[in-house]
Structure 1
């Protein structure tokens, strides 16, 4: 497919530490005092497998290069206050760089500004801030394009039928949710039979789909922000006997999600590479600690369309490849 592995920068290392103002803990709360570079990581939650994979990759990259990683998280998807407290905590601990996946792309800005005013390098991972230049750099999937790729596949899979879609979004205020939704709509040009925020959670997505199906009787496709939402949608469709009549698309590329594509629950997923985001972020942090050099702008990580039903004109990989490259 020609998009394997974007070039990644120098090397870095980190010992996982976690501090308890939010929910993730990965070691002692005190610095080792041995002169290691301290890097903070603030994820949306510490339970979503995507952010677990991101955190574990950051820890492994840090461990290779002798840095110290302090990993914190919001208590739930959308917990802006928890992330603000985590950033403040990391600044107090003396973190030289903070990597953050914002729950709220505007609500986190004050804490980020205070950190940068103290000379801390702040890099957004996975999710952009609004505005994007509120951080020094962003390392992420092009989420609009990921939504577009999902929409292109779903539209083509309908064999000329107009898309009549249920749209299952993420957390209100999240740029990831807004961008993926916009990309899907641009590509699939669906008749919108109903939109619900699911926070990317399977149970909420199942309930939302059940509710929408009461009036969306002509549905032939479902857009989902991520794979847990897709699996919730599938459960609702299966209970109604509609699973074989509706094309479900998704985004993420977890091993569970690829298995769902393999089993036919999901028609397609657009794979992301959170490990590469984390590794690149840690490498930037190490370089900053060594030389003071700061990254700037948007650093895009790759995507791959995963399906066992390839369609003409859409570049894709099968689930065998997906299971070799998935995360979680």
Structure 2
């Protein structure tokens, strides 16, 4: 059954990709592949990239891999078969994504990575990521200040397969570990998940009822941790996140979570599309492959200015 271009684009916009030929797509289409839009950070990336693609005259093929490298590989096959001009990718694993990006490159389709790096250089045209180490140090400095430089704390870590999880943790510890009266009593992964963070926080709280603070590798886990603490009547525990989500912004404004670190997801995605457009037209971006965008501390002083992973 042959779909019109409009119906096909409606299908791919919600991640439903069948076995249609590339002829069904517009001549100039950019594929945007991210983790699940259930996480507002990834939705902001997709929205930012799609908006910039439309502004520059492209159609947007918006797809979701749900952090599944096999599904990501299938989406790459669909994008390649559709003859897209470029792929914007927030990948499903630093090692596991290299083959898919290389496959697209070998077919003449350039990839522009955002948020997460891959472990091999020279395969993607651009890897535009937040300066996670710089951002983590900002968050850690604020955490130390909020903790009064002493007390027991826990750290919630993201996915082990995600380079950002390790970089943020290192940034945190390079600051926090300088303070001998700050003692980490638990360090557990919650895989970037709010539900997992809730459950992990419940267990940590039972084992360490004297805990004073929680520093989280992302806002989604911070929200889960805060919900568990709230349910236990422990609003006294200091929680700091990382991402700059609207949910955490609202919590900060209400005196809940104390701080987060904004990584500019929307702007980052738009920059990737701008570079893709330049590369499509000229064969180069004018920038290095690996590019860092600095993060910004968000607390009660500036939370009101935060909207959809950007300061207004």
TM score, norm. by length of structure 2: 0.87
Residues 209-235 of structure 1: CA distance to partner in whole angstroms, max 9, x if unpaired? Answer: 001122223322111122221121112
Residue in structure 1 matched with residue 164 of structure 2 by the alignment: 176
Cα distance in 1 for partners of 2:204, 2:30 equals 44
Residue in structure 2 matched with residue 252 of structure 1 by the alignment: 243
Residue in structure 1 matched with residue 295 of structure 2 by the alignment: 303
Residues 247-266 of structure 1: CA distance to partner in whole angstroms, max 9, x if unpaired? Answer: 21111112221111111211
Cα distance in 2 for partners of 1:113, 1:185 equals 34
Residue in structure 1 matched with residue 77 of structure 2 by the alignment: 88
Cα distance in 1 for partners of 2:78, 2:21 equals 12
Preserved CA contact (<8 Å) 1:17 1:69:
no
Cα distance in 2 for partners of 1:22, 1:233 equals 32
- 1:155 Cα deviation (Å)? 0.8
The correspondence of residues 1-328 of structure 1 with structure 2, limited to 5 A, is: 24=15, 36-74=27-65, 77-162=66-151, 164-189=152-177, 191-244=183-236, 246-294=237-285, 295-308=287-300, 317-323=301-307, 326=310
Consecutive unaligned residues of structure 1, counting only runs of 5 or more, are 1-14, 309-316
Cα distance in 2 for partners of 1:83, 1:285 equals 20
Cα distance in 1 for partners of 2:234, 2:43 equals 33
Residue in structure 1 matched with residue 3 of structure 2 by the alignment: none
- 1:326 Cα deviation (Å)? 4.4
- 1:199 Cα deviation (Å)? 2.3
Change over 3 Å in CA distance of 1:60–1:255 after alignment to 2: same
Cα distance in 1 for partners of 2:169, 2:254 equals 25
Preserved CA contact (<8 Å) 1:23 1:45:
no
Cα distance in 1 for partners of 2:35, 2:58 equals 22
Moved more, 168-177 or 30-39: 30-39
Preserved CA contact (<8 Å) 1:202 1:230:
yes
Consecutive unaligned residues of structure 2, counting only runs of 5 or more, are 1-5
Q: Over the residues paired in the alignment, what is the CA RMSD in angstroms?
A: 2.7
Preserved CA contact (<8 Å) 2:31 2:62:
yes
- 1:323 Cα deviation (Å)? 4.6
Cα distance in 1 for partners of 2:100, 2:50 equals 24
Moved more, 79-88 or 192-201: 192-201
- 1:240 Cα deviation (Å)? 2.6
Preserved CA contact (<8 Å) 1:44 1:83:
no
Q: Matched residue of 2:142: which SS? A: helix
- 1:321 Cα deviation (Å)? 2.0
Preserved CA contact (<8 Å) 1:19 1:72:
no
Residue in structure 2 matched with residue 9 of structure 1 by the alignment: none
- 1:17 Cα deviation (Å)? 6.7
- 1:35 Cα deviation (Å)? 6.5
TM score, norm. by length of structure 1: 0.83
Change over 3 Å in CA distance of 1:197–1:132 after alignment to 2: farther
